[in-house]
Structure 1
Amino acid sequence: MVSRHPASVLAIVRRYEAAGFRAWPAAAVHYDGTWVVRLTAGHPAKRLNSVNPLDPGDIQHIADRIGRASRRFDAYGRPLTFRISPLSGPDLSRHLDSEGWSSFDESLVMRLPLADAQLAPAMDQIPLKDISRFIGASLKVSGSDVSLRPGLSEIIGAIQPEAGLFALEEGNEPLATLICVHDGDLAGLFEVATDKAARNKGHGRNLILSALKWARLRGAREAWLQVEAGNAPALALYRSLGFEEVYRYHYRRPAGA
């Protein structure tokens, strides 16, 4: 058995996976067959530092290829991490199971046809042009360490599709931030965050709707995002906006890593 998913489902997954790679680019990308090895020295995010298998049938010499990937991760000082989507296939998962690899951090990929979104009341908002200002706001509302500033700046600067940097502010205080990447008929939402002291007041919802309105005016027909399965408040928000699950992925690391 190569895959438990029909070809039509895998084609949809491939579309979102490719959009995700374009929208959130790693600093270094290597290919081993159809495994995409993504590494980023300046940012520790798992999606920027992971092996991403893209074909359920590409299962030759798994142990040797894991060894090659491990050496690349060691060179970057990153823990060897596989990102397992429906494109990885059951054979690879069985191999990792047999080697005692752990599974963690399941996430959902969700979509929303923009024709179904209630965007008319959304505030018209122009994205920030000042990347430095946006990054400062993003780090503050997400509670992230300021040491991530150079890495985040590098990632945003490398995004090839049009990226809208959105921040909702009250005076000089940022309340919520997000990045909306307009890529053809897709609008991807990334780094969605609301300041801890300003949550449950609708700021995140309002900013998302403004960003999607911006993207739809530029020709986007569908919004999509990735959210951790354990983030109940975010899932509730996205579902209330009409987002529906497309597929899930999770991460795996060797035993003891």
Structure 2
Amino acid sequence: MGLPDASVFERAGLKAWPGVEAEWDGAWVRRAAGGYTKRANSVQCLDPADEADVTERIAAAVDWFAARNLPPVFRITPLSSPALLQALDEQGWRTIDASYQFAMDLGPTETDPRGLIFDVRDPAYLAIHQRLADYGDERRGKLEALLGALAVQACGVVLHNDEGVPVASALMAIADGIVVTGNVVTDAGQRRKGYGAAMMRTGHAWAHAAGARIAALNVQADNSGAQALYRGLGYSRQYDYNYRLPGTP
């Protein structure tokens, strides 16, 4: 049995990486999370056939984000309607952050003895991630607000080196049987030592035990190092997506 289509992955992603606020307009969904990541602060179309009144709906989305002091962003996936794409092109919306959806079947996996699983809201996990990702307190607060909106099973994964120092972390959430990984980070001075892969395997073991049978994540098209890591774990590219912002292409 093959992996699911984009609709399944995108709807699972909405649950695994939620907006603090969400509003549906037909098959379009607007989400806001205080500006923490474009994914959680964007509007996207989940049905290519939903293409009525696109010009008016784009304008309404722009106003919606402006009311929240956020820049308007469209997340463009294979589910985006052709009429939406045409309207964005005609209005001069530029394309940024070309990215890929990666996924794989998830079988039983051995955890690394240096890995730990945390409650996703555990201050100890958040402190480790804040240090590894070099977050300020304001950005950490926005992450905590997003995690407060999570309504699915999730965890924080941390891998320590042999000296007991945290060197890699990620956030994993299970939605519709798919474990979605985000916020993957490895200490800049500890890369290319296998820590990222070991951390991911630890999270995969947790997810499989919790009932997930598919693993998915997003990776930017220009991040060849991360792509090599994920392919080495068994992930493969499923489809492409990007973001659109107002401006000159």
- Are 1:112 and 2:100 counterparts? no
Q: Does the CA contact (< 8 Å) of 1:123 and 1:206 recur in 2?
A: no
Aligned-residue RMSD, C-alpha? 2.2
The CA distance in 2 between the partners of 1:112 and 1:91, in whole Å, is: 31
Deviating above 2 A after TM superposition, structure 1's stretches of 4 or more consecutive aligned residues are 119-126, 143-146, 169-174, 182-185
Which residue identity lines up with residue 26 of structure 1 in the other structure? G
- Listed as ranges, the gaps of 5+ residues in structure 1 are 1-7
Which residue identity lines up with residue 20 of structure 1 in the other structure? G
Match of 1:183 among 169, 172, 175: 175
1:21 matched residue in structure 2:
14
Q: Does the CA contact (< 8 Å) of 2:110 and 2:201 recur in 1?
A: no
SS of aligned partner of 2:57: helix
Match of 2:43 among 37, 51, 73: 51
Q: Deviations over 1:42-67 (max 9, x none)?
A: x4310111111111111111111111
SS of aligned partner of 1:80: coil
Q: Does the CA contact (< 8 Å) of 2:92 and 2:248 recur in 1?
A: no
Q: Does the CA contact (< 8 Å) of 1:163 and 1:179 recur in 2?
A: yes
Q: Which has the higher helix share?
A: 1
Map residues 210-229 of structure 1 onto 2, 5 A cutoff: 210-229=202-221
TM-score (norm 1): 0.88
- Are 1:143 and 2:123 counterparts? no
Q: How far 1:92 moved relative to its partner?
A: 1.5
SS of aligned partner of 1:252: strand
Q: Does the CA contact (< 8 Å) of 1:108 and 1:249 recur in 2?
A: yes
SS of aligned partner of 1:46: coil
- Listed as ranges, the gaps of 5+ residues in structure 2 are none
Which residue identity lines up with residue 67 of structure 2 in the other structure? A
Q: Deviations over 1:13-66 (max 9, x none)?
A: 11111111111110110111211001122x431011111111111111111111
TM-score (norm 2): 0.91
Which residue identity lines up with residue 185 of structure 1 in the other structure? G
Of all paired residues, the percent bearing the same amino acid is 32
Which residue identity lines up with residue 100 of structure 2 in the other structure? L
1:4 matched residue in structure 2:
none
The CA distance in 2 between the partners of 1:155 and 1:121, in whole Å, is: 27
SS of aligned partner of 2:47: coil
Which residue identity lines up with residue 181 of structure 2 in the other structure? L
- Are 1:36 and 2:26 counterparts? no
